[in-house]
Structure 1
Amino acid sequence: MTSKELDYIIQEGESYLVEFKERVGASLAREITAFANASGGRIFIGIADNGSVIGVKTDNKIRSQIQDIANNCHPPVQVSIDFIENIAIVHVPEGKDKPYQCSDGFFSRMGPNSQKMTRDEIADFLQAEGKLRFEEQFHKTFDFARHYDPQRLNAFLKTAGIGREIDDEIILENLGVAERIEDRLRMKNVGVLFFSRSIETLCEQATITCAVFDGTERIHVINRKDYQEDVITNIDYVMHFIKQELRVRYEMTGRPQREEIYEIPLDAIREAVVNAVSHRDYFQYGAHTTVEVFDDRIEISNPGGLPKGLPPEEFGKRAMRRNQIIASLLQRVRLVENMGTGINKIRRLLQEAKCADPRFDFGSFFTIVFPRAEKKVGAGLKPGGTTQETTQETDRTTQETGMATEEAILLLLREDPSITQKKMASRVGLTPDGVKFNINKLKEKGIIRREGPTKKGRWVIINRK
């Protein structure tokens, strides 16, 4: 490891696979057993939780202390130790003889933290350990030259606030999505989900299918989209799809801009979509995560039901992640907050907006149902609305449609700054002239500009507001 790579890891901060510790102490055994019981990881000794470098004396004495702590775990954990500058790095492999225990009990990783397991969690852990984790398996057909998309990594790092001063391969290794084996970098399934050009042929089951039905039953489909981009772009596209279908009203706030009030809070829906993506069972082939919009409800479903070891009565009270690395990456881009808070956040947002409580269905699928209020007469108007109100509503709807189209185009430009207007037209569902019209509007608003020659230029987003 180079000093540059160490600086990069410090900048990234602690994660599911990385732990910082100021010094060697009794708590080191908890971190070692937690990594051994999970997917392995690295402990950087001489770095505070906030990333400030304190340093330790790197000599044979500290090496012996670390080795003794690892050997006193039960069963002993085989670790390797490196030194770089004044930092000790403890490499902990995933254990082959789980569970591992220290004098304080049994620990495992939960996001960027090591947590002590309860008696029931230990029992569930023992039962579940026979099952492979999809996200950590190497993808058999992934080819970096054909499938890897560096622009998706760029977008991820920018959103996460992480600089890019080292090679992509080292970054991918540090994120835990790739691993070098016999001088060949191999991509894990989690890396395919986040950083491939398309999941269509590599991981088709990760597709998110959105549909709008006429009425309250699954009979007549009036709109359908299948999204097969990377995880983060899929979430953005799904939110754009849902926003187009939600009823919205405006409230005057005394400021120049009116406040948009959606019938269901967008943050609650986004939380449900992120939950579906991060918790679905990717071993279930032939089944997509789905978003279904009916006149009286919105249903967001993912294959897999509740994670093994989480009984229905503990739902919403205890955190248990099916896909730890996926959740960790989403946490880096602030799409996942504190562990176990998502469901309670959805409930709180709906209560604050005076919306009906959500319903949760468990089975082979996990489904969140958002009830919708009864549609008002006259495109969202209350009965007896005036002509002026009708005109205002029509103007609002026209404006909203235009804004939604512009948002879709901005998503495409963020994903691929070199995208052609012809490709944009096919992706957004507009004619080339329609795309040109919206591009010109975005230019006039000072939101985007074109740089470089006509055929080999790129789009630059100046202002997302």
Structure 2
Amino acid sequence: MSDEDLAQTLGTQESTTLEFKSTAKREGKRGDVIAQAVCAMANDLCGRGGGDILIGVDDRGEPVDTVDTSDRTLLALTDLRDDGRILDRPSLTVQAARYKGKPVVRLRVETSAAPPVRCDGVVWVRPGPTTRKASREDERVLTERRRSADAPFDTRAVALATIEDLDIELFQRSYLPSVVDPEVIEENGRPLEVQLASCRVTTPGGVPTALGLLTVGLDPSAGIPGAYVQFVRYEGTDLDVPITDEQELRQNLIGTAARLEPLLRSNLRTRVVGEGFRETQRPDYPLEALREVCMNALMHRNYETSYAPTRIVWFEDRIEVTNPGGPFGHVRDDNFDRMTDYRNPSLAGALKGLGYVNRFGRGIGRIRAALERNGNPPPDFQVDASSWAVTLWRAS
């Protein structure tokens, strides 16, 4: 715990950059009030550089008698970064601190590079000392603030792409209700152009982004050459044997996911396991692990500088999934199973909203657990500067 007293450095009254909460209890009448506050600070409507939430201080700016600053509480609050309720993923730190001489918990939230940020599909802002839902004008300001040149690749405009390259019906039917609270859609009646830009599917000027082409594009690989999946099934255990199935999946990610699951299912074989009179059938690979590996490859791959596809190569004894793009950000080849960072943060948020990603930062653990439950050997990961490769071994 730092000796710094936050009352002196942050002030003693709530403002656009400072909010007080008496307890770490997140759920209130409006929902997860702490998550909403984090969302509002990340949106930084007033451009103050983020903000702080102090837990253990009442509305009058006075510290409460008791506040839980245990590691368990700090970890639970840190989970706000990764539980998928706030999208794009916020940058925040959580630590025990002091306020007017008493212990508190400090959540420091940094400004998002790609606003608007949503909590459970709703944009929250803090134009003054209170947090509220964003108005149409608020969302317009946040959307226009996003600078294409400074943003990650997935929110940049795609050269020569036009609105005609997007499946607008798919956007309205599947994408929009998945990432924006349905009540917000109904209440605000935003025009289509604003909805597209607010969801980062287009720039504020109406040009499709990489995210837009990848998620609801009619032919994503026309504007992003590597945006497709190549599936190959071999009859044996090496490349010299005959190919029994070969397909290219060139739809947007919603269409790719719809084709990928039945394709994987059709190639699975089952075996009988058990003891005595109790027998069960198990696949040679658990579908949960296959789905997790493939969706993580599509989420984390490098779409910007590589024209290579994501490849799924199915041999008799193993499956190899490879995708271009080595470790990114804080992730290295020696910590990739413990550290999470995002080359495509808006795409990650979209896949979470669409239900293709269960929880951020848990993919490798879920893969290993699913394989172990099914009786498969542990997976092999090969990570270098330019690519990832995951090998799943067939259960014996």
Q: TM-score if structure 1 supplies the norm length?
A: 0.54
1:19 to 39, 43, 46: 39
Instruction: State the secondary structure of the residue aligned to 1:19.
Output: helix
Q: In the alignment, which residue of structure 1 is the partner of 2:325?
A: 304
In the TM superposition, what is the alpha-carbon distance from 1:248 to its structure 2 partner? 2.0
Q: CA RMSD in A?
A: 4.4
Distance (whole Å) between structure 1 residues aligned to residue 214 and residue 124 of structure 2: 36
CA contact (8 A) 2:116 2:198 kept: no
Distance (whole Å) between structure 2 residues aligned to residue 206 and residue 84 of structure 1: 35
In the TM superposition, what is the alpha-carbon distance from 1:284 to its structure 2 partner? 3.1
Q: 1:139 and 2:161 equivalent?
A: no
In the TM superposition, what is the alpha-carbon distance from 1:19 to its structure 2 partner? 1.5
Distance (whole Å) between structure 2 residues aligned to residue 304 and residue 55 of structure 1: 35
Which of 1 and 2 has higher RCO (CA within 8 Å, sep 6+)?
A: 2
Instruction: State the secondary structure of the residue aligned to 2:282.
Output: strand
CA contact (8 A) 1:292 1:298 kept: yes
Post-superposition Cα deviations, 1:226-267, rounded to whole Å, max 9, x if no partner, equal 011011221232222221111124799xxxxx9863221101
CA contact (8 A) 2:39 2:125 kept: no
Q: 1:223 and 2:223 equivalent?
A: no
Letter in 2 for 1:221: I
Letter in 2 for 1:358: P
Letter in 1 for 2:174: A
Q: Comparing 226-235 with 168-177, which one deviates more in the overlay?
A: 168-177
In the TM superposition, what is the alpha-carbon distance from 1:357 to its structure 2 partner? 0.6
Q: In the alignment, which residue of structure 2 is the partner of 1:426?
A: none
Distance (whole Å) between structure 1 residues aligned to residue 263 and residue 313 of structure 2: 11
- Aligned residue pairs total 294
CA contact (8 A) 2:121 2:180 kept: no
Tell me: CA distance 1:178–1:299, structure 2 relative to 1, closer, same or farther (3 Å).
Answer: same
Bigger Rg over Cα: 1
In the TM superposition, what is the alpha-carbon distance from 1:372 to its structure 2 partner? 1.2
Q: In the alignment, which residue of structure 1 is the partner of 2:194?
A: 170
Instruction: State the secondary structure of the residue aligned to 1:350.
Output: helix
Letter in 2 for 1:173: A
Instruction: State the secondary structure of the residue aligned to 2:237.
Output: coil
Q: In the alignment, which residue of structure 1 is the partner of 2:168?
A: 150
Tell me: CA distance 1:131–1:210, structure 2 relative to 1, closer, same or farther (3 Å).
Answer: farther
Matches within 5 A, 1:207-356: 207-219=228-240, 220-249=242-271, 261-356=282-377
In the TM superposition, what is the alpha-carbon distance from 1:365 to its structure 2 partner? 1.6
Distance (whole Å) between structure 2 residues aligned to residue 53 and residue 330 of structure 1: 18
Tell me: CA distance 1:287–1:52, structure 2 relative to 1, closer, same or farther (3 Å).
Answer: closer
CA contact (8 A) 1:35 1:41 kept: no
Tell me: CA distance 1:251–1:30, structure 2 relative to 1, closer, same or farther (3 Å).
Answer: closer
Tell me: CA distance 1:35–1:206, structure 2 relative to 1, closer, same or farther (3 Å).
Answer: farther
Matches within 5 A, 1:367-406: 367-373=389-395
CA contact (8 A) 1:82 1:90 kept: no
Q: In the alignment, which residue of structure 1 is the partner of 2:25?
A: none
Instruction: State the secondary structure of the residue aligned to 2:203.
Output: strand
Instruction: State the secondary structure of the residue aligned to 2:304.
Output: coil
Q: In the alignment, which residue of structure 1 is the partner of 2:75?
A: none
Letter in 2 for 1:270: R
Distance (whole Å) between structure 2 residues aligned to residue 265 and residue 55 of structure 1: 43
Instruction: State the secondary structure of the residue aligned to 2:346.
Output: helix
More helix by share: 1
Matches within 5 A, 1:449-464: none
In the TM superposition, what is the alpha-carbon distance from 1:180 to its structure 2 partner? 2.0
In the TM superposition, what is the alpha-carbon distance from 1:343 to its structure 2 partner? 0.4
Q: Which runs of 5+ in 1 are unaligned?
A: 1-9, 67-80, 97-129, 253-257, 375-465
Distance (whole Å) between structure 2 residues aligned to residue 298 and residue 371 of structure 1: 7
CA contact (8 A) 2:284 2:395 kept: yes
Tell me: CA distance 1:310–1:168, structure 2 relative to 1, closer, same or farther (3 Å).
Answer: same
CA contact (8 A) 2:329 2:342 kept: no
Tell me: CA distance 1:328–1:251, structure 2 relative to 1, closer, same or farther (3 Å).
Answer: same
CA contact (8 A) 1:316 1:343 kept: yes
In the TM superposition, what is the alpha-carbon distance from 1:336 to its structure 2 partner? 1.5
Post-superposition Cα deviations, 1:100-152, rounded to whole Å, max 9, x if no partner, equal xxxxxxxxxxxxxxxxxxxxxxxxxxxxxx997321220121121x3121232
